[in-house]
Amino acid sequence: MSSDTILPIFDDLDEARATVLKRRSLNEVEVPAWIMDSLEKLFGERIMPAEAVTRIIRSVREQGDAALYDWNRRIDGADLDDLAVPEAEIDAALDQIPADVADALRLAARRIEAFHRKQPVTGWIDAGAEGSLGQLVRPMDSVGVYVAGGTAPLPSSLLMSVIPAQVAGVEQIVLVTPPGRGTGQVPPVILAAAAVCGLRKVIRVGGAQAIAALAYGTETVPRVAKIVGPGNLFVTLAKQQVFGDVGIDGLPGPTETMVIADGSADPGLAAADLLAQAEHDVVASALLVTPSRALAEAVSAEVARRMEDLSRAEIIAQSMRSRSGAMIVRDLPQAFEVANEYAAEHLCLLVDDPWRWIGAVRNAGGIFLGEGSFEVLGDYVAGPSHVMPTGGTARFASPLNVLDFVKITSLIGLDPAAVSELSRAAAVLARAEALTAHAAAAEARIGRG
């Protein structure tokens, strides 16, 4: 590995697989000392994050709103009179942000809705000679959407999570988001995005306590059927612990982009895309895979040059040095082997004729075709939800979509003749499983057609 540049270059794929390409489970996350110190201060003893989350969830289940007010004070320094944001404050938010931001939110919302309305989500009933079989598709009754606070407000995540649920027909959508540290105020741009979606229930609470409230309900927060939306380590651990009592969209980890580029790629644009990813978080991954070492060196140089002018340069530098890198491969087919093995959240194809390579992609949250269809457009206004599978879960998971917010119910309505005939086979299989009550129930229907 060449580590004398801001973006490390790996000539040895095995070394890359052992470092920046290595996947780690949630249980293997290395907890920074500052988090352990803060937990010790909060709980009076040095406990691991998972234990802290267990205690927070228990307190919310037992004490309801009182626990939420307490955690808001202790964690966010927010002493609130009411957890719910007044509807008048939501309505007024669009007038408190710049007009061009409001226009961009509306544009994004229209495109996200239009994209998801094209998704086929249909029930069916096959009425044949034996009766009817089919499936009913029904929206979930209620959904909780978590929108993170942290170092930057993310109204785009609100739109990307709420609108697919609305298209699915979910009637009750509850938004939870952390109160502003020390102020208790939700950023106006978040409330403006809520107004664009027509959301009326915005709750000022974050972290594990917000997940617990959505999972079990409090005096202010209704219990929901499913919780969606990425958050920090404590949010993810809380979703893991409440799963089964409530549905979840997944256990998202740090965001990631993999760029496959050939010698035709513009080093400046490749660098811009990697920098955009790295500024999310110090644990974000920005990865370049290319058969051209000359391109890798040019991209690395562009990263170093452009980074100095960016507002989050310190975050970018940490991400680049610890979680990012450029991998040199033999050719493009090998690049796609690496990509399928890694199963990136975002896979960007900066290659000549990117459409030619779609068939080579088996595992990816989203494919971005060419230098013009760059990942940042997907973050905001392209249309598909930017809530995509991370941590290698693109091997089995999908971006957030309408299907995440519906349930399928099987429909069985056979006529008596079919019931009589099929009951014979059902009884045979039941006795093969030593389930004699099952067999008896089937045999009672034989000859009744």
Cα-Cα-Cα-Cα torsion 237, 242, 246, 247, nearest 10 degrees, comes to: 30
d(CA 413, CA 131): 6
- Cite the active site residues: 345-346
Residues 6+ apart with CB under 8 A from 374: 269, 272, 273, 348, 368
CATH topology agreement for domains 9-25+253-396 and 31-121+139-250: yes
Cβ 402 vs Cβ 249: under 8 Å: no
Structural contact between residues 387 and 161, judged by C-beta atoms closer than 8 angstroms: yes
Rg for the chain, CA atoms, rounded: 25
pTM: 0.93
Q: What is the pLDDT of residue 27?
A: 77
Asked whether 257 and 346 are in contact (CB, 8 A), the reply is: yes
Instruction: Evaluate whether 56 touches 212 at the Cβ level (below 8 Å).
Output: yes
What strands lie across the sheet with 366-369, from one edge to the other? 9-10, 325-328, 285-290, 256-261, 346-350, 366-369
The full set of domain ranges for the chain reads 9-25+253-396, 31-121+139-250, 415-443
The Cα–Cα gap between 316 and 318 comes to: 5
Token pair listed for 371: 């230098």
- Count of Cβ atoms closer than 10 Å to residue 285 Cβ: 28
Q: Which residues are bridge partners to 10 per DSSP?
A: 327
What is d(CA 131, CA 109) in angstroms, rounded to the nearest whole number? Answer: 43
pLDDT tens for the chain, residues 1 to 449: 555 578 999 999 999 999 999 998 877 778 889 999 999 999 999 999 999 999 999 999 999 999 999 999 999 999 999 999 999 999 999 999 999 999 999 999 999 999 999 999 999 999 988 999 999 999 999 999 999 986 678 999 999 999 999 999 999 999 999 998 878 899 999 999 999 999 999 999 999 999 999 999 999 999 999 999 999 999 999 999 999 999 999 998 899 999 999 999 999 999 999 999 999 888 899 999 999 999 999 999 999 999 888 999 999 999 998 899 999 999 999 999 999 999 999 999 999 999 999 999 999 999 999 999 999 999 999 999 999 999 999 999 999 999 999 999 999 999 999 999 999 999 999 999 999 999 999 999 998 86
Give the homologous superfamily in CATH for domain 9-25+253-396: Nitrogenase molybdenum iron protein domain (3.40.50.1980)
What are the φ and ψ backbone dihedral angles of 439, each rounded to 5 degrees? -60, -40
Give domain 31-121+139-250's CATH superfamily: Nitrogenase molybdenum iron protein domain (3.40.50.1980)
Helix (H) or strand (E) holding 125: strand 124-128
DSSP codes, 46-80? ---HHHHHHHHHHHHHHHTHHHHHHHHHHHH----
Burial class (CB in 10 A: 0-12, 13-18, 19+), 385: buried
User: Quick one: pLDDT at residue 151?
Assistant: 67
Query: Edge-to-edge strands of the sheet including 124-128?
Result: 124-128, 131-139, 406-414
CA distances from 379 to 160, 371, 383, 387, 392 (A): 9, 15, 9, 9, 19
Alpha carbon distance 287, 327 (integer Å):
8
